[in-house]
Amino acid sequence: MNMMDTKATSALLYLDGVHVSFDGFHAINNLSLTLAPGEMRAIIGPNGAGKTTMMDIITGKTKPDKGEVLFDGIVDLTKLDETKIAELGIGRKFQKPTVFESQTIEDNLLLSLNVDHRVRGTLFWRKSRDEAARIERVLETIRLTDSRHMLAGSLSHGQKQWLEIGMLLAQDPKLLLVDEPVAGMTDVETHQTAELLKEINRDNKTVVVVEHDMTFVRELGVKVTCLHEGTVLAEGTIDDVSANDRVVEVYLGR
């Protein structure tokens, strides 16, 4: 019991015995996962394994039927809504890139800045030199400086993925949940994305990356968790996990 407690309180993200069902369909079954501060974790698993649903639970979009979800060791995420959870410093990139299509790239980043999000503060908000510089840096990082005044809706799928990663950077959260970041990217872009995520992680950010692309996961070189039918099937290095019999079965058995 005591050991569990220290495990829970020293973890940045701690899920234990989580269950979610949608109309009787068990999407998440007794899921447990622990992330240390500053860790990067890759999550793999076949379609429908519950990877996105897990992110929905962490970000407050879906309430678990059962189980514990703790952030920073003490905050019970199941009691909070999306807004509060975002304010705690949990940022998310969606599987289907979700950017504000009718606004410019720069405005998308500006909206993501982690400044006062209350109504009054936003109404009278003015961009400081510091914040302008930050947007500038993010634009450079995601290589969209030249198209900053373009509408986000006019970007290619891959660029939207980058813009959404840029929005995460502007948001500057403690924990980043990145759902399938390299879908629709070329090999070069995939490589660049891996580098970018590693760099973000070096900045002492905790990162959870969901991805199907094994080359990409291998390139990240971090601990891998394989989900299947809403529960953890295997955990370890990419080589361990891909050598695991059950993982092979799940992936080949499809």
Partner 1 sequence: MTPHILTRSLDRSAMIFLLIVAAVGILLPLSNLLLPAGSMFQVPTYLMSLFGKYVCYAILALSIDLIWGYCGILSLGHGAFFALGGYAMGMYLMRQIGSRGVYGNPVLPDFMVFLNYKELPWYWYGFDMFWFAALMVLVAPGVLAFCFGWLAFRSRVTGVYLSIITQAMTYALLLAFFRNDFGFGGNNGLTDFKDILGFNIQSDGTRATLFALSCLALAVGFLMCRAVVTSKLGKVLIAIRDAESRTRFLGYRVESYKLFVFVLSACMAGVAGALYVPQVGIINPGEFAPGNSIEAVIWVAVGGRGTLIGAALGAVVVNYAKTVFTSGALAPYWLFMLGALFILVTLLLPKGIIGTFNDWCEPNRLRNRAKQKRDPIVESAAAEDGVTLPRPAE
Ligand X SMILES: Nc1ncnc2c1ncn2[C@@H]1O[C@H](COP(=O)(O)OP(=O)(O)OP(=O)(O)O)[C@@H](O)[C@H]1O
Residues that bind Mg ion (CB under 5 A): 51-52, 95
Using CB distances below 5 to 8 A depending on partner kind, what does residue 112 bind out of ligand X, Mg ion, partner 1, none?
A: partner 1
Asked whether position 49 contacts ligand X by CB under 6 A, the answer is yes
Using CB distances below 5 to 8 A depending on partner kind, what does residue 163 bind out of ligand X, partner 1, Mg ion, none?
A: none
CA 36 – CA 188 distance, rounded (Å): 30
CA 136 – CA 79 distance, rounded (Å): 36
Asked whether position 247 contacts ligand X by CB under 6 A, the answer is no
Q: What are phi and psi of 92, to 5 degrees?
A: -140, 140
Q: 208: helix, coil or strand?
A: strand
CA 123 – CA 46 distance, rounded (Å): 45
Q: State the minimum distance, in angstroms, from the CB of residue 237 to partner 1.
A: 31
Q: In the set 111, 183, 196, 232, which binds partner 1 (CB under 8 A)? A: 111
Can you spell out the DSSP letters for 7-76?
A: HHHH-SEEEEEEEEEETTEEEEEEEEEEE-TT-EEEEE--TTSSHHHHHHHHTTSS--SEEEEEETTTEE
Using CB distances below 5 to 8 A depending on partner kind, what does residue 251 bind out of Mg ion, partner 1, ligand X, none?
A: none
Cβ(210)–Cβ(43) under 8 Å? yes
CA 29 – CA 147 distance, rounded (Å): 44
Q: How many amino acids of this chain bind ligand X (CB under 6 A)?
A: 12
The residue behind tokens 């879908």 is 183
Asked whether position 15 contacts ligand X by CB under 6 A, the answer is no
Strand-pair partners of 179: 210
Q: In the set 29, 30, 34, 95, which binds ligand X (CB under 6 A)? A: 95
Using CB distances below 5 to 8 A depending on partner kind, what does residue 225 bind out of Mg ion, ligand X, partner 1, none?
A: none
Strand-pair partners of 31: 18
Q: How many amino acids of this chain bind partner 1 (CB under 8 A)?
A: 38
Q: State the minimum distance, in angstroms, from the CB of residue 209 to partner 1.
A: 17
| Among the residue ranges 42-50, 91-99, 197-205, 228-236, the one whose residues contact partner 1 (CB under 8 A) | 91-99
Asked whether position 37 contacts ligand X by CB under 6 A, the answer is no
Using CB distances below 5 to 8 A depending on partner kind, what does residue 64 bind out of Mg ion, ligand X, partner 1, none?
A: none
Asked whether position 167 contacts partner 1 by CB under 8 A, the answer is yes
Contacting positions for ligand X (CB under 6 A): 22, 25, 27, 45, 47-53, 95
